[in-house]
Structure 1
Amino acid sequence: MSRLPLQALQGFVTAARLGKLSLAAEALNLTVSALSHQVRGLEDRLQQRLFERGPRGIRLTADGQRLFDAVAGPLQSLEHALRPCAGRRDHVLTLSLLPSMASSWLVPRLPGFLAAHPQLEINLQSGIGLVDFQRDRDVDAAMRYGPGHWPGLEAMPLFEDWIAPLASPDLVRRLGGDTPGDLSRYPLLEDDAGRWPEWFNRFGGQRPPRFVARFDDAETLHRAAASGMGVALGRLTLAKPLVDAGLLVLLSKQRMKANYAHYLVHPPRSADHAGFLAFRDWLRGEAADYADHLARETG
C-alpha cells in the first residue's frame, strides 16, 4: 500500500477553507506552484476533480466536498494530538486575554517589558471566550477577570477593579449636575451586574423607574456612555482610555468595588516556562503599581 499523502491532504483542506490557493500557500509557507502541484497530485491519485477554479478563487466540487468532510476533522484531531509532543520555545509567550483589557491596560505597558527582555516574543490572543488550556496547548497563560478560582489552574491576583458613574461631557453639559443625588435626572445604562440599586442605597439619590438600555459587555457599555446615550456605572480600569481622551467624565468622587478582580492564570505546564516566568514577575510589579494608584484615587 502506498504512503498516505498527508501533506497534500493538509494543503487541500487549507485551500478549501480559505478559498484561494494564494492564501493557502501563504498559510502553509509554500509557493502557489508547490501547493498547486500537491493538489494536482492528489487529484491524479484519486482520479477525481477536487476544485473548480474561477476568477475569484476556488470552490469544492461534489467529490471535493465529500473528501473535505471525510478528512478535515481527523486532520485537526491529529494536529491537536501532536501539539504536546512539539518542542516548547521558551522565548515565545502566548497570552490570552479580553480585547478590552489588552487595549486599555496591557498593551500600553508592554513596550517596557519587551525593552527589558529583547529575546522574548509575545503573541497576544484577544477574544471574549475563555481559552481551553487542555485543547489549546500553545497558550501559556491568560489574564482573566473573575472570582479567582478556575479548576486545574494557578491564579495570581493582580488588582481589584472599581466602578463609578461615567458620562459623556456633552450629556453633562445638556443636563447639568454632577453629584450622586442628581443622577435621577440622567438616562441610566445598566449592565449584567445590575449594581445601580446598590449604588443608590450606598450613596443616596433616587433610582429611575427604568433604564434606557442594558448591555452584556463592559466595553460596549462604556462606548454607549461615550456616545451620549446615558450614564454608565463603568469599570474604571477598562474605561480609562476613554476618560483620558476626554470622551467620558466621572460624575462622582465616590467609588464602589467591582464584583470581581483581575488575575493571571496558567496551567501547571507553564510553571517552568522561562518566558512566562519573566512576564509573571514583570506583571506582578506593574499590577502592584497600578493597585497603589487605584488605592490613592479611591482613598
Structure 2
Amino acid sequence: MFAKLPLTALRGFESAARLGSFKAAAQELNVSPAAISHQVKSLEAFLGVRLFERSSQNVRLSADGERLHPYMHRALLDIQHGLQVLAPPCVAQSLVVSTTPAFASLWLIPRLGDFHRLYPDIDVRLHTSNDVVDLLRDASIDLAIRALFTPDPQLFEQPLLDEYFGVYCRPGWQPPTAGSPIELIDVPWLSSASVAVHWPAWCAKAETLGWLDSARFRRYDEEQHALQAAIAGHGLVLASNVLVAEAVARGELVGYRPEVRLVGARYSVVCVPGRERQVVVRAFTEWLLVTATGEWE
C-alpha cells in the first residue's frame, strides 16, 4: 500500500518547507544541502509539480508546496506521536512551551508546581519572547500560549482566558488631594487596531480625563515591572486581569473602580494541527484549562 511513497524525500521536503532553507533542513537531518536538494527534486519529479521557487539568494514554497506542507507536517507529527506512545512510561518526556515573559512570570510559573506534581515525568521547558514564534517553521516548540485578537486559521486553537483591562492599586491607596497630580503607571499593552488599551481610553470611559492634564506618569517597558511599581505604592496601574490575578490573590493589589473595563484579547493555547493529540501536549493543555476554569468560576 505504501511501497511507492518516497518517505525520505517527503521528510526532506517537510524540513525544508518548515525551516525555509535547504541548508537549515540539511543541518536538522544531518545530511548535506545537496542531498536535500536532490530529495526535493526527486519528489517534484514524482509528483510532476514544482514545490519550491528557487533563486540565487534563497528558496520559497510554490503554491503547490504551500498546499502540500501542512499535510506532510501533520503526517510526520502523527508518526512521531505513535512512536512516543510506545516509549516506556518511566522515560521523562519534554514539552517546550512558548509564551511572553510577562505571562510566564506573572501567571504560568506561579501555578506550574501543580503540573509538576501531577506529571513528574514531563519536563516543561519555557521559551519566553515578546516576538511571535512561527510554529509552522520551528518544530522545537510544542505549543504556545498567546493573547489573540484574531485567530490564526493555520493553527489549532484552544481558548483559555478572556482578558480585560482595569485599574489596580496598592490596598489603602488614597486619591491625591485637590490640586495635586495623580501618579499613573504606564506600560505599552498589546492591542488591536479597533481596541485601544491605554490611559486616555480608560479615563474617557471613567470620565476622569482631567487626570491626564496634570498626571505624573511612571513609564515602564515590561508589564511585570509596572505591576511591581504598583505593588510598591508608586501609583495606579492599568493592567490585564489575567496578569494581575496572582497579585490580587495575594492581597498585594486591589481593583480601583472595577466596573470600568477595557476589552482585551483572549489567551489561547495554539499549536500546529495534529500536535494537540500528542500525549504531553494534551496533558498540559487539559491542565491549563482546568486551572483557568477553576480560577474564573
TM range (shorter): 0.5 to 0.7
Using the TM superposition, give the Cα deviation of residue 186 of structure 1 relative to its aligned residue in structure 2, in angstroms.
1.4
Residue 290 of structure 2 is matched in structure 1 by: 285
Q: Deviation digits for residues 205-225 of structure 1, max 9, x if unmatched? A: 333215524444322322333
Residue 211 of structure 2 is matched in structure 1 by: 207
Using the TM superposition, give the Cα deviation of residue 245 of structure 1 relative to its aligned residue in structure 2, in angstroms.
5.1
Helix, strand or coil for the counterpart of 1:201?
helix
Scaled by the length of structure 2, what TM-score is found?
0.59
Aligned positions of 1:270-281 closer than 5 A: 270-281=275-286
Residue 69 of structure 2 is matched in structure 1 by: none
Alignment-mate amino acid for residue 285 of structure 2: R
Contact 1:97 1:124 in 2 (8 A): yes
CA RMSD, aligned part only? 3.5
Gap regions ≥5 residues in structure 1: 1-72, 293-299
Contact 2:202 2:260 in 1 (8 A): no
Distance 1:271 1:82, change over 3 A: farther
Whole-angstrom CA distance in 1 between matches of 2:221 and 2:99: 17
Residue of 188, 195, 198 corresponding to 1:195:
198
Residue of 155, 180, 186 corresponding to 2:182:
186
More helix by share: 1
Residue 230 of structure 1 is matched in structure 2 by: 235
Whole-angstrom CA distance in 2 between matches of 1:254 and 1:284: 26
Contact 1:140 1:266 in 2 (8 A): yes
**Identity rate, percent:** 23
Scaled by the length of structure 1, what TM-score is found?
0.59
Q: Deviation digits for residues 149-178 of structure 1, max 9, x if unmatched? A: 1241112111112322223468x3xxx339
Residue 177 of structure 1 is matched in structure 2 by: 175
Residue 120 of structure 1 is matched in structure 2 by: 122
Helix, strand or coil for the counterpart of 2:267?
strand
For the pair shown, the structure with the greater C-alpha radius of gyration is 1
Alignment-mate amino acid for residue 97 of structure 2: L
Alignment-mate amino acid for residue 192 of structure 1: P
Aligned positions of 1:79-90 closer than 5 A: 79-81=27-29, 89=84
Using the TM superposition, give the Cα deviation of residue 113 of structure 1 relative to its aligned residue in structure 2, in angstroms.
2.6
| Count of residues in correspondence between the two structures | 214
Distance 1:75 1:277, change over 3 A: same
Alignment-mate amino acid for residue 256 of structure 1: R
* Match status 1:78 vs 2:60: no
